[in-house]
Amino acid sequence: MHTTTLTITGMRDEQCLRLVTNAIQDLPGIGYLEISLETGAATIEHGTFVSAADIYQAIEDAGFGAR
């Protein structure tokens, strides 16, 4: 498993958090996922067939930013 740590921007409430969580969990091979609504910090464990770029794209497709 690989671990990607990033910051998600644009989340305002629990609904935003659910949207981002679902977008990431829809990717294949997601193991562990933790996102802080307060800070935007996210830690994602994923298999080798999902890249960090895939995760960033899923977050952006859900309407949020990632850095």
pLDDT in tens, 12-51: 999 999 999 999 999 999 999 999 999 999 999 999 999 9
Query: In sequence order, what DSSP letters do the residues of 15-27 get, joined into one string?
Result: HHHHHHHHHHHTS
Q: Which pLDDT value is given to residue 14?
A: 96
Q: By C-alpha distance, which of 43, 40, 57, 51 is closest to 3?
A: 43
Separation between Cα atoms, residue 37 and residue 12, nearest integer Å: 8
Q: Which pLDDT value is given to residue 38?
A: 95
Separation between Cα atoms, residue 39 and residue 58, nearest integer Å: 19
pTM score of the predicted model? 0.92
